[in-house]
Structure 1
């Protein structure tokens, strides 16, 4: 199961109240990769530390690239450090991969066949699989999309997850996205204050 690819696919055409931040998506994709690597046996979580597992390869190019970038010396890398390091620019990497495979194209206007600059999903088995996971509210994908604000969290805040490693990753993704939003808000306030100084307000 490739959660990172599925997450990338379901976010291409998503419409939300606010634009989906690429930094948030990159963090979530790094978390999705880590969950996939845990499930493939390529890594093992020891608390919040990522240790190399017995199965080094997954057969997926981007996941194998992720596995190849693991810190392989103790005390190993924390999940939080992995998200920030591996997540840098990861949304663009996945989108480029989907475009290369023909799974994502340029959207065209309804009346005129002019490219709109937006992206559109092509009909494909991969799209069906990803949208099927989203429609069925598969817990891991549901938790990741909730962290991105694409869907609401359950009323009880639970996604029926029992794997401690998966819960650790998802919790850390949520914390990282919240931290990134706080940084953005702080920069906005600082920029507004700076602009006010120059305007003499």
Structure 2
């Protein structure tokens, strides 16, 4: 299993008690893939640039897809650009893949149609592994979860804004995910204000 899949499972488990924006989760999943690909040796971070390594299968379909999507021409892609490009619709892709491989299922019952409602994780080794990482406050998973509101507070925050040219890779990725989530929230707020103003104009006629 990967950090990205663990995060997807944790998010589904927590969805009943917390509202998670799918766009925020998609950005965090793209960030988790960077960690997974670094661990697999498929990329290294050069400052805030993603430098791809030699292509090698990881055994995970979505992670192999992510590796194949890496930009392989200089000056390469920044972590920020990767989050926005790779993150588009990524939460749905992970939810669908978890269901495809049997790690989630849709609730059944007389009042619940077969295809209705969200999927929920089934009892599995993968779910137990994700829960163990979650319960132990594993730093990367905890920080990514905090970025999308699955935790009350981040596990730990840096004392000052990191410099992408000198920060360690983990700090660079986590800080970029946090900034992207904040930017997306600002976009949502602007749209809400614009829509409200548009509605007020029409009420005047």
* Matched-pair contact (CA < 8 Å) for 1:27–1:87: yes
| 1:57-100 residue CA offsets vs partner (Å, 9 max, x unmatched) | 32211111101111101000000000000000001111110001
Structure 2 gap segments, 5+ residues each: 159-166
Quick check: which one's strand share is greater? Answer: 1
Any conservation in 2 of the 1:16–1:150 contact (CA below 8 Å)? no
Kindly indicate whether the alpha-carbon contact (under 8 Å) linking 2:147 and 2:154 is maintained by their aligned counterparts in 1: no
Q: What whole-Å deviation, never above 9, does each CA across 1:87-123 have from its counterpart, x for those lacking one? A: 00001111110001111111246xx552461322111
Do the aligned partners of 2:99 and 2:119 also contact (CA within 8 Å) in 1? no
Aligned length: 195
1:33 corresponds to = 33
1:65 corresponds to: 65
Q: More displaced, 57-66 or 136-145?
A: 57-66
RMSD over aligned Cα atoms: 2.0
Partner of 1:186: 190
**5 Å matches for 1:101-116?**
101-108=101-108, 112=110, 114-115=112-113
Distance 1:117 1:188 in 2: 26
The whole-number CA distance in structure 2 between the counterparts of 1:154 and 1:148 is 10
Counterpart-to-counterpart distance in 2, 1:95 and 1:184: 23
Compared CA separation, residues 52 and 156, structure 1 to 2 (3 A): closer
Kept after mapping to 1: 8 A contact 2:147/2:177:
yes
Q: What pairs up with 1:84-99 in 2 under 5 angstroms?
A: 84-99=84-99
Mapping of 1:164-183 within 5 angstroms? 164-183=168-187
CA contact under 8 A between 2:134 and 2:141: conserved in structure 1? yes
**Cα 1:144–1:156 shift into 2, 3 Å:** closer
